[in-house]
Amino acid sequence: MIQKAMMLGVAVLLVAAVPVAQAGCPGCDKLAKADDGFCCGKGKAFGVQLTSESLYKALEGHKADAKKIHCPGCKDALKTGGKCSHCNVAAADGKMYRSWVSYTLAQGKPVSKTMAAFCGGCKTAREENTRCEHCNVGFAAGRAFKDTDLYKHALAALETLTKASEVASKCEACAIAMVTNGTCDKCNVQFKDGKLVKDEG
């Protein structure tokens, strides 16, 4: 009798839990449809899967209000889409970035997966992060780049971001340093444009 009651109790709990599981998490549901965001221990930045929230925050851009900015370099950067060497930030698409990876990729024009205004070659190029020679447009991280040099930089930034997402599982500080041209004091290493430039470990 006790065993039957216990089984019935477990069954009731399972049934009660089903609607909650089916409802899902609003943040995760939103993330599933977007190329950027972080929720419940997983996220994406420029379409690259991330498991480190610290790395995501280092990549994240922040909307900037020119009226609230006091640094002249930052004001100029926001106006021209350039960099402020004093604060070590850069502006693109109306946002300020601490990461050179994010700044570089943010200069591309976001292109939705439907790509109604693009040719078949462009659609393939978007999926493969390659160039459509017919339209003379390069694609990286779901963004279109018309400038050839900027496109090359975007591919390098995307490669660095992909590597950083893998490195983060071993050392988050190294991963952040890779995307910010910074240092990892724990490993005593320094990075420039995603490459190791100092190793005294």
- Each domain of the chain, given as residue ranges in start order, spans 63-97
Closest Cα to residue 89, out of 193, 185, 180, 150?
180
Give me the phi and psi of 22, to 5 degrees please.
Answer: -70, -30
Condensed to tens digits (0 to 9), the pLDDT of residues 32-86 reads 888 788 999 999 999 999 999 999 999 999 888 888 888 999 888 888 888 988 8
What pLDDT score does 174 carry?
Answer: 97
**Residue ranges of the chain with per-residue pLDDT less than 50:** 1-22
Are 161 and 46 spatial neighbours (Cβ–Cβ below 8 Å)?
A: yes
Q: Say how far apart CA 127 and CA 111 lie, in whole Å.
A: 11
Angle 51-53-58 (CA atoms, 0-180°, nearest 5)?
A: 120
What pLDDT score does 7 carry?
Answer: 44
CB atoms within 10 A of CB 121: 15
